[in-house]
Amino acid sequence: MKTAIICLLVLSITIASAVDLKSVLLNKRATASCPSSHGMVGICLWDPNVNCMSNLDCTGGMLCCPHGCGSICMKPVH
């Protein structure tokens, strides 16, 4: 019985920590935005090594931002 209570407690703490981490990450991403693209010109060619379709295509906390007539991964502004 003691083991079951300890396992339940550890599981509850783990889930609570994961939920808190997820909310922090989502909130940080929600407050970030793309830099201004005013005056930027881009080539209208699709290159999967350069262009992105969504933030899921970007790594390192970068966002998929409009650039010319396409989108590229860019560092967000806060």
Tens digit of each residue's pLDDT (9 = 90 or more) over 10-51: 444 545 454 455 444 554 455 789 988 777 666 678 888 889
Q: Which pLDDT score, from 0 to 100, does residue 39 have?
A: 72
Q: Which residues contact 42 (CB under 8 A, 6 or more apart)?
A: 67, 68, 69, 70, 72
Q: Which residues pair with 65 in a beta bridge?
A: 72
Q: What is the pLDDT of residue 64?
A: 95
| Closest residue by Cα to residue 74 from 37, 47, 45 | 37
Q: What is the arithmetic mean of pLDDT over 2-14?
A: 54
> What sign results for the dihedral spanned by CA atoms 58, 63, 64, 69?
negative
In this predicted structure, what is the pLDDT of residue 4?
Answer: 56
Domain map (residue ranges) of the chain: 1-74
Q: What is the pLDDT of residues 47-73, one digit of tens each?
A: 888 899 999 999 999 999 998 888 999
